[in-house]
Amino acid sequence: MLMRAAVLTGFDRPLQVREVEIADPGPGEVRVRIRASGVCGSDIKALGGKSPVVRELPYVLGHESAGVVESVGAGVTSVRPGDHVIIAMNGPCGRCRNCGAGRFHLCSGRARTATIMGTMRDGSTRITVDGAAARTMIGIGSFAEYAVVNEPMCVKIAKDAPFDTMCLLACGVITGVGAVLNVARVTPGSSVLVAGCGGVGLNVVQGAVLAGATTIIAADVAEPKLKLAREFGATHTLLSADLPEQVGGIVRGGVDYAFDVTGVPGVLAAAFASTQPGGTTVMVGSPPQGQPISVEPGLLFASRRLVGTQGGDAAPVRDLPMLAEQYLRGRLDLDRLVSERVPLEEINEAVRHVREGAVARSVVVFD
């Protein structure tokens, strides 16, 4: 079947919107008609050749998506044509050692390993560009009219839930909120620092509100982002400079929890130094490979914890419906996260806006 897709044919080049071919779903696979796809920072890194997994071109990017099941392969039982779904960033196999221990985000099953590298479980792809096999971003490739994905990646949602907000749950929202609820396990009445207030950072702020934190400090280098953070629930805002000193002026001795959403090693170290003894720091942003993090040993010795997370350590079938319900009940603000909605033909404009930090989230929408 032919469809339109935004294809990456060279790093640091504009995406090419062109006609490509997508195959029927194989056994255990689902073809989804994409209705909305967020433009995420991970896509931007891939465009610049900075993603460790996006190496072999051509590639169809996009992974923060929602749509309608169009057809299913043999053996698929959890969804059927017409179902509305969020496409999760991972589809746990349920059988490996990590899945057995409930660490679904660390699934080591064959399908999960293959999707990270942009293929289906057997190493093949379902999209061809001018006769050449094209890989897809973490096995999704939602900058396109359709995507073929593994069945466990499809999470059903209510048919009255809007696609242009539901798509955000797949990555930016679950990464931020999950870091708070699943990783740090922020407690009611506690204090929180969020360093970096882009799309994911705003969802860390929202997660802290959901968890009942009473002091939420947002830090960033851009005042417009701090304004947004206040709208999403931050009680204090700081223009990033000397974080430990500024944070100490608000919460004596430091915060209970700190989250670095920048991926900058120096910011992570500063966030860690802003916690009180016994505090927890979560590395949410993806750091550049090969750059060490410098941490004062004495701070670590005082029972402080430094931990990382992958996508908010989410279990998609558990967490995505819960977040969708929080939105429908008015407890999670997704509408203000969407700064603009653009057709596929304007994908490169949306990419530019994300790079400039001019938007919380750009969403590509399909008729």
List, for residues 259-292, the tens digit of each pLDDT value.
Answer: 999 999 999 999 999 999 999 999 999 888 788 8
CA angle 67, 228, 334 (to 5 degrees): 20
Say if residues 190 and 256 touch (Cβ distance below 8 Å): yes
Report strand pairing: 127-129 vs 59-60: unpaired
240 has pLDDT over 90: no
Q: Is 66 left (phi over 0), alpha (psi -120 to 50) or beta?
A: beta
Q: Read off the DSSP letter of residue 78.
A: S
Domains in the chain, start-ordered, CATH in brackets? 2-156+334-365 (3.90.180.10), 176-310 (3.40.50.720)
pLDDT in tens, 242-257: 999 999 999 999 999 9
Which residues have a Cβ under 8 Å from the Cβ of 305 and sit 6 or more positions away?
Answer: 279, 280, 281
Question: At 50, is the pLDDT very low, low, confident or very high (cuts 50, 70, 90)?
Answer: confident
Residues 4/18, Cβ–Cβ less than 8 Å: yes
Q: Is 151 within 8 Å of 94 (Cβ atoms)?
A: no
Nearest CA to 195 out of 271, 138, 115, 255 is that of 271
Stretch 202-222: mean pLDDT: 97
Structure tokens that stand for 252 in this block: 């004596």
DSSP string, 189-220: T-EEEEE--SHHHHHHHHHHHHHT-SEEEEEE
Rg of the chain (C-alpha set): 20
DSSP letter at 256 equals: E
The one-letter amino acid at 48 = G
